[in-house]
Chains A and B, each alone.
Chain A
Amino acid sequence: MAEITYRQALHDCLREELLRDESVFLLGEEIGVFEGSYKITAGLLKEFGPKRVVDTPIVENGFVGMATGAAMLGLRPIVEIMTINFIVLAMDQIVNHAAKIYAMFGGQCPIPLVIRTPGGGGQQLAATHSQNLEVWFAHVPGLKVVAPSTPADAKGLLRTSVLDNNPVLFLENLALYNVKGVEPSSDYMVPIGQAKVIKEGTDLTVISYSRMAAVALDVARRMEQENNLSVEVVDLRSLRPLDHETVINSVKKTNRAIVFEEDWRSFGVGAEIAAFVQEEAFDDLDAPIKRVASLEVPLPYSKPLELATLTGAKQLIESINELAPRRRRR
């Protein structure tokens, strides 16, 4: 099967959507002439022209507001925020306007808006350029939040997001752009709000999303070979709406769970998952749910300190070994 990078999958989907629907257009900083800080939009200005691929000034609140207005009037804007760190400047437009207009004005106009933005650290970009802020948006009713971990899911979820009539925060990750995976068919779509068991297992479940899901999959495969430990990996893919059923079914099968997330631990995705799992599957739990997340400090620039701060495969393996049951199930 043909392989494709995460970056190429996003690029192809954007191009296909621009071709498919004239109301789709892109806007963001440096996405046209410069072809995007991460080259997702390479070649698109040349192909579709400046009306469909709009370079904006460095004013996130302004151009997200502009996109919201365009969406109200029937266009389907896809905004690129260079990294999620800069989205804080547009919080008012996203949280107070895009998320609420449909509900507050009697459903007169839906907001078919997609905001693409990469999160994640590990590139020595220091504290203000390495954050994982997706949970802020997952907290807000009226928004949808998706966070694919593979090229195929990136393509499938981006298409679904463009077709969705709600504002969708589409989370990418700097360290995923070069990751390769199976190229899906051109009409491939992934429903929003549907998690996926990306590796089956019986001894414990690791629940993750975005880049950490890819790390978890790798760790699970290795541990299966090396330690004969059967780890199931659930890739959430969407944070809001959150697929309880897939997670609960997995926990009912393995009885032990770890939530593995790149963001900070307090009030994070793991907190939410641990809460609903104990609500819905209390009698199936054989151990407290573990959260594996990054240390709660502003991320240092120094490489050794950055490595020590961010969570990763090492921390996950330690936690799996701590949580694994004595008796293997297979």
Chain B
Amino acid sequence: MSEVTMPRLSDTMQEGTIAHWLKKPGDEIKKGDILAEIETDKATMDLEAYEAGNLQQILVQEGETVPIGQPVAVIGSGAGVQQKEQPATSPAAVKIGAEEAPTAAVPAESISAQQKSPVTAESGDGALIKASPLARRMAEEYSIDLRRVQGTGPGGRIVRDDIEDMLEQQQATPAPAAPEPAPSPPAVPPQKVPAPISIPPETEVTPLSRVQLLIARRLTESKQTIPHFYVSSEVDMTDALAMRQTFNANAGEDSVKITVNDLIVKACALALEKFPEVNGSFKDGQLVKYKHINVGIAVDVPSGLVVPVIRDTNIKGVRSIAREAKALIAKARENKLAPVDLEGGTFSVSNLGMMDVSNFIAVINPPQAAILAVASTRKQFVPVDGQPVIRDLMPMTLSADHRVIYGATVARFLQEVKSLLQNPYSLLG
């Protein structure tokens, strides 16, 4: 008999919600069967059975949230299902060199929002605090300032024991005079039952999902801590639309159609090559420029908003981008995005063009430094040689982090995007 526990499905995950049980008590379970779908702070993922047996008991019901490591179900050994792996005896079953599962590679450049925790990195005088990875993780989980912990490991390293000592002390001394305004990272708050506030009549209260809470927290943090500024421009999309039409008309029935957004994404990626500071982050008083250009595309989903990422956008062709974007959007709509689909973005594009908006500005998606908001393309008269001519104009606004990017840079960047889109064949190079 063994317990199935809430797995850690991403680096930042601290708890998970059982979205659906796919098995019910009494079901035979094979190793590898999907037991349930789990909603984490990033995505919905499968809970896989690591052992065969019989699902005896479900401990956590659908919709309930529990911390990682907590048992969610019990699998019994179930007579007759004792799996005995038959060794490969037929040539077809021989697997040479396929033994080691590759581990998910995370690009070194990807800086997750949760990693920005200056308090755990340095002591007051700028010296590095020695702490084991586990101790750091625990400090983050319990919002402990490592500077206040005495390390007892080799060379004064802070280890698990020291964090546990600290936690015990904290419990022993109930709330010492208002703990100093903790400069702690915005740790994911354990999902608390909202305090029963008096609800005015004739309102409907909907608790936010984990993803919505995460969005709320990160956007608040973004708008409150990043000095946003905005620069707008208008692009003449007439030629780009014509090119797209030709392109799609010549594409076969079943090949992927290119969208206007794919062209914009490609144009941004090429412009980012030229203006690397826009493809960066403000971090600890420094400008971090990313080597890779990974453009995220904002996708609206029933539960809120997700920004899946197209990696190395600048070196991909427009059709590859279109194919990838289509797949990511489909995954997003089905709530099937994996954390890896959402990580590593270095710039974002948010496009409301299809919804008849004249203009809008977007909130920066941290830790990125800029986001492009694209509005609807409209037919407008523009003077050409003194004569009114109808052209397709598309307004766009870039929101940028003024700590690392300045107005003139943004203006030049937008000029580049504009020039690429107005000479659309340059996007195909």
What is A's interface to B at a CB cutoff of 8 Å? Answer: 102-103, 107, 109-110, 141-142, 160, 163-166, 189, 191-194, 240-242, 244-245, 255, 276, 279-280, 282-287, 325-327
Stretch with Cβ within 8 A of A (4 or more), from B55-63, B158-166, B170-178, B230-238: B158-166
Query: In the assembled complex, which residues on chain A have CB atoms less than 8 Å from the CB atom of B90?
Result: 165
How far is B94's CA from A241's CA once the two chains are assembled, in angstroms? 13
Report the separation of the CA atoms of residues A176 and B359 in the bound assembly, to the nearest whole angstrom. Answer: 78
State whether the Cβ of B152 lies closer than 8 Å to any Cβ in chain A.
Answer: yes
Given the complex, which residues of B lie within 8 Å of A244, measured CB to CB?
A: 100-101
By the criterion CB–CB under 8 Å, are B99 and A255 in contact? Answer: no
Q: Which of B133-141, B209-217, B329-337, B343-351 contacts A (4 or more CB under 8 A)?
A: B133-141
Tell me whether B103 is interfacial, beta carbon within 8 Å.
yes
Q: Measured between alpha carbons, how far is A164 from B85 in the docked complex, in Å?
A: 11
What is the minimal beta-carbon distance from B13 to any residue of chain A, in angstroms? Answer: 11
Q: Please, which residues of chain A bring their CB within 8 A of the CB of B164?
A: 327
Q: Which residues of A contact B133 (CB under 8 A)?
A: 282-286
Closest Cβ neighbor of A142 among chain B residues: B96
Tally of contacts, chain A with chain B, CB under 8 A: 81
Are A141 and B132 touching (Cβ within 8 A)? no
Interface centre among A103, A245, A285 (most CB of B within 10 A): A285
Among B93, B100, B159, point to the contact of A325 (Cβ < 8 A): B159
Are B89 and A163 interface neighbours, CB within 8 A? yes
Q: Is the CB of A286 within 8 A of B87?
A: no
Find B132's partner among A240, A287, A326 (CB 8 Å cutoff). A287
- Are A102 and B96 neighbours in the complex by a CB distance under 8 Å? yes
Known interface pairs A242-B99, A287-B159, A325-B159; A107-B134 also in contact (CB < 8 Å): no
- Chain A CB within 8 A of B88 CB: yes
Q: Contact at B134–A255, with CB atoms within 8 Å?
A: yes
Contacts of A284 in B (CB 8 A): 133-134, 137
Q: Chain B: which residue is nearest A327 at the CB level?
A: B161
Question: Taking CB as reference atom, which chain A residue is nearest B168?
Answer: A327
Total contacting residues, chain B, CB less than 8 A: 31
Closest-CB distance, A267 to chain B (whole angstroms): 17
A-B contact list, 17 entries, CB within 8 Å: A102-B94, A107-B91, A107-B94, A141-B97, A163-B87, A163-B88, A163-B89, A165-B88, A165-B89, A189-B84, A193-B99, A194-B85, A279-B103, A282-B133, A286-B135, A325-B159, A325-B160
Point out the residues of chain A lying under 8 angstroms from B154, CB to CB: 287
Residues of A within 8 A of B134 (CB): 255, 283-286
- Residues of chain A within 8 A (CB-CB) of B161 are 325-327
Take A189-B84, A193-B99, A286-B159 as given contacts and tell me if A165 and B137 are in contact as well, using a CB distance cutoff of 8 Å: no
- 1/0 per residue B10-22: CB within 8 Å of A? 0100000000000
> From residue B68, how far is it (CB to closest CB) to chain A in Å?
10
Q: How far is it, in angstroms, between the C-alpha of A141 and the C-alpha of B94 when the chains are bound? A: 13
CB-nearest residue of chain B to A249: B50
CA distance A102 to B94 in the complex (A): 9
Which residues of A lie under 8 Å from residue B50 when comparing CB positions? Answer: 245
In the bound assembly, the distance between CA atoms of A109 and B161 in angstroms comes to 56
The answer for the CA separation of A240 and B99 in the assembled complex, in Å, is: 8
**Complex: A171 Cα to B90 Cα, angstroms:** 24
Q: Is the Cβ of B96 less than 8 Å from the Cβ of A103?
A: yes
Q: Does B32 contact A (CB under 8 A)?
A: no
CA distance A327 to B11 in the complex (A): 26
Q: Is the CB of A287 within 8 A of B85?
A: no
User: Any chain A CB within 8 A of the CB of B189?
Assistant: no
Q: Hey, which chain B residues are within 8 Å of A255, CB to CB?
A: 134, 160
B358 to chain A, nearest CB (A): 47
B88 to chain A, nearest CB (A): 5
**Which residues of B lie under 8 Å from residue A192 when comparing CB positions?**
87
Contact residues in A for B26 (Cβ distance below 8 Å): none
CB-nearest residue of chain B to A165: B94
B187 to chain A, nearest CB (A): 14
| Bound-state Cα–Cα, A174 to B111, Å | 52
For the complex formed, measure the closest distance between the CB of B4 and the CB atoms of chain A, giving whole angstroms: 13
Q: How many angstroms between the C-alpha atoms of A285 and B138 in the bound complex?
A: 11
- The digit string for B122-136, where 1 denotes a CB below 8 A from any CB of A, is 000000000011111
A168 and B133 CA atoms in complex are apart in Å by 38
Interface status of B156 (Cβ within 8 A of chain A): no
Q: How far, in Å, is A192 (CB) from chain B's closest CB? A: 7
Q: Give CA–CA (A160, B312) in the complex, Å.
A: 45
Query: In the complex, what distance in Å separates the CA atom of A141 from the CA atom of B159?
Result: 38
Given contacts A160-B87, A164-B87, A191-B87, 15 further A-B contacts (CB under 8 A): A103-B96, A141-B97, A142-B96, A164-B88, A164-B89, A165-B89, A165-B94, A166-B88, A276-B103, A283-B134, A286-B135, A287-B153, A325-B159, A326-B152, A327-B160
Q: Which among B85, B152, B154 has the highest number of chain A CB atoms within 10 Å?
A: B85
> Chain A residues with Cβ under 8 A from B153's Cβ?
287
Q: Are A110 and B85 in contact, CB atoms less than 8 angstroms apart?
A: no
Cα A110 to Cα B94 in complex, Å, equals 8
**In the complex, which residues of chain B have a beta carbon less than 8 angstroms from the beta carbon of A110?**
91, 94
- In the assembled complex, the Cα of A142 lies from the Cα of B96 at a distance in Å of 5
Q: How far is the CB of A24 from the nearest CB of chain B, in Å?
A: 13
Of chain A, the residue at the smallest CB distance from B154 is A287
Q: Which residue of A has the minimal Cβ distance to B101?
A: A244
B94 and A283 form a contact (CB under 8 A): no
Q: Is the CB of A283 within 8 A of B88?
A: no
Q: Which of A163, A241, A283, A286 contacts B11 (CB 8 A)?
A: A283
Q: Which residue of A lies closest to B99 (CB)?
A: A241
- Report the Cα distance A123→B402, complex, angstroms: 73
Distance of A286 Cα from B151 Cα, bound (Å): 12
- Nearest Cβ on chain B to A318's Cβ, whole angstroms: 15
| Min CB–CB distance B42 → chain A (angstroms) | 16
Interface centre among B100, B134, B135, B161 (most CB of A within 10 A): B134
- Closest Cβ neighbor of B162 among chain A residues: A326
The 4 closest A-B pairs by CB, nearest first: A241-B99, A141-B97, A191-B85, A286-B134
The smallest beta-carbon distance between A167 and chain B, in angstroms, is 10
**Binary flags per residue of B413-429, CB closer than 8 Å to A gives 1, else 0:** 00000000000000000
